[in-house]
A and B are shown apart, each in its own frame.
Chain A
């Protein structure tokens, strides 16, 4: 039987690979046969005993939020690999801040990491001859994009900006048969999610967390959903924001 999620022979960029979520995604993609180009500010988790990267991966470290550097990095990847089949943007920053402290500087920093950098990655990777026809782009977004939460204004706005851009890019890139989608995750038990569940939940958001009816979401689930959207199983899915929220937004 052919595995519809197979990514064999595909070169996939994962931006934000060093986070727990990113690493989950890298693992799953690599197991599905992809050559994964990991990009982040620091080296991803390596095989401690051998101090090497896993097979089927390449690591590029640079400030992924410095939009001026992105074109050069992508150009270099293309020169080395000749072609890219997919892009995953799972980088970004979280943050809880009430309106009074949501200064323009804070809001801009959030917007830069969660949206500006994402858009620049897509813009550069979809230049002629880079991302192939039939290529797939996935952004990790959040249910905050569509539902209001207190003290998450800047974060929610940045995710909604990215999701609106996903819809437009899907329309504009459809001619090249490039698909663009995002995943609206609820609280995932890794990185920011872990921090939130452990530290911030009690501040007002307990009722919110309980709305995630199916309970905790593991990073592997996010990775599997990402793989699905990258794969040929999702060949007619574009411009959508897939809910991975355990029922939160019901």
Chain B
């Protein structure tokens, strides 16, 4: 078949990809994987120590790292422009930042709700808005957000978190349509239970109905690499026709 080169499958050599949220879990594993696939990375995280630790684990390349507090949304534009001035325009962007909020409805005060929505969704939208401005990206830019089964599944204690992910998935559907003429694709991956420090922390909380979720997630607990692999695919040219989608990486949960 013309144009298919198996040796190049998932080759991200010289692709410049920004990843927000690389300290732990899916973000960290994604960063390492993408570097192995040849990408040049721009790592963003609020935690300097962990930012440097992840940086040290990357396969060598033209990598940059910047400590950034993404909850400071109104300053994102300035920071992004500064970063891209240094690093060059983007071929990819992955958003792995989020608060795994778990609260009963009664305790979701306006202040708490606002924080969760801002960091899980608002900053993602603002970063997308900034990196898709002229000269900040290259043709065939691919953007991936990390959603969750919570976006489409109702559960007690996760209202704020679910709302933030619902907002992300919905925005992605609109953004995909709107940015298509600029040859930009945008998708989300939808993990269920994935073996990360955030998951372990939630296991320690009461009212975790994690076991009930795992029962429906019949392929068992996911690993960060399972999700990172799909992110890499979505960033690559091989997913050319995929946009506006929410791709489950959920061990069967959503259809179970």
Contacts and interface: CB of A to CB of B under 8 A. Distances in A.
Q: Consider the complex of A and B and state whether they touch directly, i.e. have CB atoms less than 8 Å apart.
A: yes
Contacts of A173: 105
Contacts of A108: 118, 122
A123 B104 CA distance: 10
A160 B170 contact: yes
Interface stretch (A24-32, A56-64, A113-121, A228-236): A113-121
Interface in A175-199: none
B170 A157 contact: yes
A164 B129 contact: no
Contacts of B151: 160, 164
B110 A157 contact: no
Contact of A152 (B105, B157, B174): B174
Contacts of B132: 99
* Nearest 7 pairs of A and B residues by beta carbon: A167-B154, A164-B166, A148-B173, A160-B170, A172-B156, A161-B163, A157-B167
Contacts of A103: 126, 129
Nearest to B158: A168
B26 interface: no
Interface string A134-170: 0000000000111111111110111111111111111
A172 B157 contact: yes
A100 interface: yes
B174 A150 contact: yes
Given A103-B129, A153-B171, A160-B167, 13 more contacts: A99-B129, A99-B179, A100-B133, A104-B126, A144-B170, A145-B170, A146-B173, A150-B178, A158-B167, A161-B163, A164-B163, A170-B154, A172-B105
Interface in B129-181: 129, 132-133, 150-160, 162-179
A102 B117 CA distance: 16
A177 B243 CA distance: 39
Contacts of A151: 174, 178
Contact of B175 (A153, A159, A171): A153
Contacts of B74: 104
A83 B117 CA distance: 32
Contacts of A100: 129, 133
B37 interface: no
Interface of B: 73-74, 104-106, 108, 110, 113-114, 117-118, 121-122, 125-126, 128-129, 132-133, 150-160, 162-179, 244
Name the interface size band of chain A: 35 or more
B173 A161 contact: no
Nearest to B175: A153
A169 B166 CA distance: 14
Contacts of B155: 168, 171
Interface of A: 67-68, 98-100, 102-104, 107-108, 111, 115-116, 119-120, 122-123, 126-127, 144-154, 156-173, 239
Contact of B125 (A150, A153, A159, A169): A153
Most buried by B among A115, A116, A164: A164
Nearest to A115: B163
A128 to B, nearest CB: 9
A148 B244 contact: yes
Given A160-B167, A167-B162, A122 B173 contact: no
Contacts of B169: 160
10 contacts: A99-B175, A100-B129, A100-B133, A108-B122, A111-B117, A149-B174, A161-B121, A164-B154, A168-B158, A172-B105
Nearest to A162: B163
Contacts of A157: 121, 125, 167-168, 170-171, 174
Contacts of A115: 117, 163, 167
A238 B92 CA distance: 40
Contact of A122 (B105, B133, B178): B105
B110 A67 contact: yes
A160 B174 CA distance: 12
B106 to A, nearest CB: 6
Nearest to B182: A99
B154 A127 contact: no
Nearest to A70: B110
Contacts of B114: 116
Contact of B106 (A116, A127, A158): A127
Most buried by B among A162, A166, A172: A172
A161 B133 contact: no
Contacts of B73: 104
